[in-house]
């Protein structure tokens, strides 16, 4: 297990290194980033001055080494727009995004896990059919459209929930439900199939045949094993959740990292975009790293094998 954790840690470092290269190259897709950053009213002389001030006149390799050396310490430069260190701007918004992701995950798991298990136990029942239908619908629906529909119902007609911002605690309800429902749709079918798979295993049949109550079989033998793939997919779904948050945060004007990314792209604030991309990537990688470790804790087969 220790060896695994160390190997994965080195993989993580290599991956982050490649991410830094991607983030560096991405803003140079059209050549010099100055062409994106400079206001259109700038004349050639001003553009040259700006270029020199940002070091974009140096050789590309030298630029990258400088970028990497600073990035390791969390320094992505000054936000062109807000006149603050880009990392500070990003971290300032992180908390809101984490809060939203956590509440949405909680909603998603609370819906998906019991629903998936019940559908598997009562296979081909009306409940199973209904939850499969809802899951398909939830996957097909653009999350931001669901958000807009909630705004129409709860803000425009019923007038009980705020449609934007994070000024009062209940403002989190709609954005987190929007993301949570999408997540539940993706997770519930998976929980169902994982549970079905486990219920067909020999050890479940053994447990049943030695006369254990159905409830004991499900909770002690089946559920624990069925949750293993759910944990893995939950980790991968976080990518969907973080991505979905970009659009959903924009719909609800939720002051998180996703909305910051869109705002910064719109004003061509490339240092903030770079810092944001880096954070998205780092958090996704770290969470999956942690989940892999968790995975080993709940599945001894991997720990030994």
Partner 1 sequence: METLEVGKVSPEYISTLPPQRSLFTRVTSALFRSPIGVAGAAIVGFVILLAVIGPQISPHDAVDHNLRSRFKPPGYSDSSGSYALGTDQLGRDILSRIIAGSRVSVLVGIVSVLIAGTIGVTYGLVSGFVGGLVDTVMMRVVDALLSIPFIVLVVAISGVVGAGLGTLILILGCTGWVTYARVIRGEVLKVREMEYVTAAYALGQNRPMVMLRHVLPNVISSAIVLAAVQVAVTILAESSLSFLGLGVKTPTVTWGLMLADGKAYINSAWWMTFYPGMAITITVLGVVFLGDWLRDFLDPNIRARA
Binding site for partner 1 (CB under 8 A): 11, 14-16, 18-19, 22, 26-27, 29-30, 36, 136-137, 139-142, 144-145, 148-149, 151-152, 156, 163, 239-240, 242-244, 246-247, 250-251, 258, 261-262, 265-266, 268, 270, 273, 276-277, 280-282, 284-285
Rounded to the nearest whole angstrom, what is the least distance from the CB of residue 193 to partner 1 in the complex?
10
* C-alpha 260 chain-centroid distance: 15
Rounded to the nearest whole angstrom, what is the least distance from the CB of residue 80 to partner 1 in the complex?
13
Q: Name which of 176 and 281 has its Cβ closer to partner 1.
A: 281
Q: Name which of 204 and 212 has its Cβ closer to partner 1.
A: 204
Pair of tokens at residue 169: 């605690």
Cβ contacts of 76 within 8 Å, gap of 6 or more: 70, 85, 86, 87, 271, 272, 274, 275, 278
Based on the number of CB atoms within 10 Å of its own CB, is 126 exposed (0-12), middle (13-18) or buried (19 or more)? Answer: exposed
Rounded to the nearest whole angstrom, what is the least distance from the CB of residue 22 to partner 1 in the complex?
6
Q: Name which of 227 and 251 has its Cβ closer to partner 1.
A: 251
Radius of gyration, alpha carbons of the chain? 24
Rounded to the nearest whole angstrom, what is the least distance from the CB of residue 151 to partner 1 in the complex?
6
Rounded to the nearest whole angstrom, what is the least distance from the CB of residue 53 to partner 1 in the complex?
20
What's the DSSP call for residue 78?
B
CB 236 within 8 A of CB 3: no
Q: Name which of 196 and 296 has its Cβ closer to partner 1.
A: 196
Q: Name which of 133 and 298 has its Cβ closer to partner 1.
A: 133
Q: Helix-strand-coil percent breakdown of the chain, rounded to 5?
A: 80, 0, 20
Rounded to the nearest whole angstrom, what is the least distance from the CB of residue 242 to partner 1 in the complex?
5
Residue 78's beta-bridge partner residues?
85
Q: Name which of 211 and 259 has its Cβ closer to partner 1.
A: 259
Pair of tokens at residue 63: 């630029």
Angle of helix 223-251 relative to helix 143-150, nearest 10 degrees, comes to 70
């Amino acid at each position: 297990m220790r060896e695994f954790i160390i190997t994965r840690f080195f993989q993580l470092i290599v991956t982050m290194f490649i991410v830094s290269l991607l983030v560096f190259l991405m803003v140079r897709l059209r050549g010099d980033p100055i062409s994106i950053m400079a206001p259109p009213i700038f004349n050639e002389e001003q553009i040259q001055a700006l270029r020199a001030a940002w070091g974009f006149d140096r050789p590309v390799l030298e630029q990258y080494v400088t970028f990497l050396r600073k990035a390791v310490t969390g320094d992505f430069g000054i936000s062109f727009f807000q006149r603050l260190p880009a990392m500070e701007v990003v971290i300032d918004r992180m908390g809101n995004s984490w809060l939203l992701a956590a509440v949405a995950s909680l909603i998603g798991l609370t819906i998906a896990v019991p629903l998936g298990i019940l559908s598997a136990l009562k296979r081909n029942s009306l409940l199973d059919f209904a939850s499969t239908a809802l899951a398909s619908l939830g996957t097909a629906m653009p999350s931001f459209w669901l958000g807009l529909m909630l705004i129409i119902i709860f803000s425009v007609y019923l007038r009980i929930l705020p449609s934007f911002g994070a000024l009062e605690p209940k403002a989190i309800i709609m954005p987190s439900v929007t993301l949570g429902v999408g997540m539940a749709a993706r997770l519930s079918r998976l929980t169902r199939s994982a549970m079905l798979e486990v219920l067909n295993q020999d050890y479940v049949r053994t447990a049943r045949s030695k006369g254990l109550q159905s409830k004991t079989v499900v909770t002690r033998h089946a559920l624990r094993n069925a949750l293993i793939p759910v944990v893995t997919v939950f980790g991968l779904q976080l990518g969907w959740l973080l991505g979905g948050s970009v659009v959903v945060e924009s719909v609800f004007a939720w002051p998180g990292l996703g909305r910051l990314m869109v705002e910064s792209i719109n004003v061509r604030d490339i240092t903030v975009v770079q810092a944001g991309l880096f954070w998205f990537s780092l958090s996704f990688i770290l969470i999956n790293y942690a989940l892999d470790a968790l995975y080993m804790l709940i599945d001894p087969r991997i720990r030994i094998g």
